[in-house]
Amino acid sequence: MSEKSELPESQTYFTPKDLPQELQQLLIVDDDPFILDLLSEFFSRLGYQYYLAGDGLEAMSLLEQHLITIVITDLLMPRMDGMELIRETKKLWPEIDIIAITGYSRDFNYSDVIRAGASDFIRKPFNLDELKAKLDRIIRERGYRALLKRLSIRDILTDLYNRRFLDIKLEKEAQRATRQNYPLFLIMLDLDNFKELNDTLGHQAGDEVLRRLAGVLNDSVRSNVDIPFRYGGDEFAIMIPHASTEQVKQIAERIRRNYLNEQDIGKTSLSLGISRFRRTNKGLREDINELIYKADSSMYIAKRAGGNRVIFQEETKKE
């Protein structure tokens, strides 16, 4: 249920200016039709996408169906009041921001609402400019949080995901692959003759080659399925779920060939190693470590054999 209200990876990272207004989806919750009409007209004029709900239960249904980013809710409502809605929303969709509105300050105070999980609080009768200012602040803060998240999981030079995020994604994907019984592969790859290129042409040229390789990886894998990572230095990884052995070999060969077609890469080429995730009676972490070790080992076999090749040890052993 909670997955429906999470923004896709491709929509969660922006500059610190803010999250673009057009990517916000608001949910306005109030049992007063006049307030709903007023806020509907107001947010329409500002160009926001929004949904309307008359109480907390209706709001929960809409949260399950849509990628809501910000909830603006009254507190006193029938069936499910605003405080319960805030608590349930933050429990299921912690990334959603909430502005609470009430005309009865004696029943609810600011600290109670914030402790429940709201981002801000406004009292009726409210000024629309004040509401807009609070909304603008929340959107700016969402932008900063998104940027910090991006910096924590992305490599600055190549803009690929980093090794830290590989560990996170591999664990989630390995659990899912085990549950749903589909294959999961890992490709590890390393640049051949990269040190020589750095020594002769300089580190700026080396950085440009790494960026070119990142572009090759993005262009060579299946969009929105396979995920490339910068593992460290001149070593990269690609997580490949839902693929046959033959498909993975084709992806690896496509990466190798496409890289050789790049300009200004000197004498560099790629050594690639493939491994398949196998669940054993050991712990999940041990099985993931084995997946990484086998891919890394296969990659170094390719490198010792002269580089510019793909090695899949399991296949070699069968032969």
Of 70, 85, 129, 83, the C-alpha closest to 109 is 83
Does 221 fall in a domain?
Answer: yes
Segment 215-231 mean pLDDT: 96
pLDDT score of 20: 54
Query: Is 209 a member of any domain?
Result: yes
Domain end among 108, 124, 151: 151
Instruction: Please confirm, yes or no, whether 129 is among the known catalytic residues.
Output: no
Which band of pLDDT confidence, cut at 50, 70 and 90, is reported for residue 123?
Answer: confident
Residues 85 and 17 in one domain: yes
Confidence (pLDDT) at 22: 53
In a domain, 156, yes or no: no
Q: Both 211 and 288 in a single domain?
A: yes
Total-model pTM = 0.67
Are 314 and 167 contained in the same domain? Answer: yes
Angle of helix 82-92 relative to helix 56-65, nearest 10 degrees, comes to 20
Assess whether 140 and 12 both reside in one domain. Answer: yes
> For residue 264, is it within any domain?
yes
Given this model, what pLDDT does residue 105 score? 55
Sign of the C-alpha dihedral computed for residues 68, 73, 75 and 81 taken in this order = negative
| Residues 147 and 261 placed together within one structural domain of the fold | no
170 and 299 fall within a common domain: yes
Mean pLDDT of 289-317: 90
Q: What is the pLDDT of residue 319?
A: 42
How open is the CA angle 135-136-138, to the nearest 5 degrees?
A: 65
Which position has the higher pLDDT, 150 or 213?
A: 213
The mean pLDDT of 238-265, rounded to a whole number, is: 96
Alpha-carbon radius of gyration of the chain: 25
Percent residues over pLDDT 70 in the chain: 90
Catalytic residue among 234, 264, 287, 296: 234
Confidence of residue 10 (pLDDT cuts 50, 70, 90): very low
**Residue of 314 and 69 predicted with greater confidence:** 69
Identify whether residues 177 and 137 lie together within a single domain: no
Overall average pLDDT of the 6-22 stretch: 43
Sheet containing strand 309-312, strands side by side: 227-232, 235-241, 184-192, 269-276, 309-312
Mean predicted confidence (pLDDT) in 66-86: 92
* DSSP 8-state code for residue 262: S
- Do 103 and 136 lie in one domain? The reply is yes
Mean pLDDT within 55-72: 95
Residue 157 falls within a domain, yes or no? no
Are both 55 and 92 inside the same structural domain?
Answer: yes
Place of tokens 């749903």: 180
Hey, what amino acid is at 47? G
**The pLDDT value given to residue 107:** 64
Given 105, 126, 151, which residue is the final one in a domain?
151
Q: Is residue 277 part of a domain?
A: yes
For the chain, the domain total comes to 2
Per-residue pLDDT tens over the stretch 148-202: 888 889 999 999 999 999 999 999 999 999 999 999 999 999 999 999 999 999 9
Last residue of a domain, one of 151, 182, 205: 151
- How much is the pLDDT for 315? 57
Span of 20-24, 198-202, 217-221 with lowest mean pLDDT = 20-24
User: Same structural domain for residues 169 and 271?
Assistant: yes
Quick one: 205 and 296 in the same domain? Answer: yes
Residues 225 and 303 in one domain: yes
Parent domain of 31? 2-151
What is the average pLDDT across 98-118?
Answer: 79
pLDDT at residue 7 greater than cutoff 60? no
Q: What is the pLDDT of residue 23?
A: 75
* Contacts (Cβ under 8 Å, ≥6 apart) of 12: 146, 149, 150
pLDDT band at 8 (very low <50, low <70, confident <90, very high): very low
Judged by phi (left if over 0) then psi (alpha if -120 to 50, else beta), residue 312 lies in beta
Q: What CATH number does residue 286 fall under?
A: 3.30.70.270
**CATH number of the domain where residue 46 is located:** 3.40.50.2300
Report the pLDDT value the prediction gives residue 147, as an integer from 0 to 100.
83
Residue 104 pLDDT grade (very low, low, confident, very high; cuts 50, 70, 90): low
**Using omega within 30 degrees of 0 as the cis cutoff, is the peptide bond preceding 125 cis?**
yes
Q: Which two tokens stand for residue 199?
A: 């020594």
Q: What is the pLDDT of residue 9?
A: 43
Give the chain's mean pLDDT: 88
